[in-house]
Amino acid sequence: MKNNRMQTDQYNEVELLHLESQQWTSSLNFIKDEIVFIGHLLDSYIFEPDTPNLFERLQDYRDSLKNIISTTSEVCKQISIHDNDLGGMLECKDKSFDQAYCHRHDQLKATVVELMMDFQNFKADIFNYAGGILRKRKPMR
C-alpha cells in the first residue's frame, strides 16, 4: 500500500514538472513572436535619420537580438528533451524518479527565468530608446 502511494506521489510530481515545462515552452514561443516584431522594428525606417549614433545603436540591438535568438533556441531544445523525458516517466510507471532529475528541472527553470528576465530588460531598453526617436507623422493638409 505504501509503495503504491509513493508511486502516485511521484506520478503527480512528474505531472507537475511536465505542466511547468509546457508553460515554459508557451512563454518562449511568445518570446519568439516578440523577437520577430522587434526584428521588424529594428529593420524599419521609422526612426529619425539624423539621430546621433542611430546606426551603431540599432546594430548593437540587432547583435543582441541574434544572441537572444540563439539562446532561446538552445533553451527550447533543452526543454523539449526534458519534456520528452518527463513524458516517458508518465508513460512508464517503473521508471524511477530521482532527486537528480528534480535538480536538473530546477536548473532548467533558473535558465528559463533568467532568459525571460534578460529579454524583458532588452525589450524595455529598445522601447525606451525607440520611443524618443520615432519619426513624427507629417500633418495632413
**Cell of residue 106, nine digits:** 530546477
**Domain-located, residue 23:** yes
**Cell of residue 57, nine digits:** 545603436
**Domain-located, residue 137:** no
* Residue corresponding to grid cell 533558473: 110
**Domain-located, residue 136:** no
| pLDDT-derived band at 129, boundaries 50, 70, 90 | confident
**Cell of residue 29, nine digits:** 514561443
Distances (CA, A) of 11 to 15, 17, 20, 86, 113: 6, 10, 14, 10, 25
Number of structural domains found in the chain: 1
Q: What is the pLDDT of residues 73-91, one digit of tens each?
A: 999 999 999 998 887 777 7
Q: Could you list the residue range(s) of the whole structural domain that residue 101 is in?
A: 2-131
**Domain-located, residue 140:** no
CB neighbourhood size of 19 (10 A): 11
Q: Residue 98 half-sphere exposure, CB side, CA atoms within 13 Å?
A: 3
pTM assigned to the model: 0.82
**Domain-located, residue 141:** no
**Domain-located, residue 61:** yes
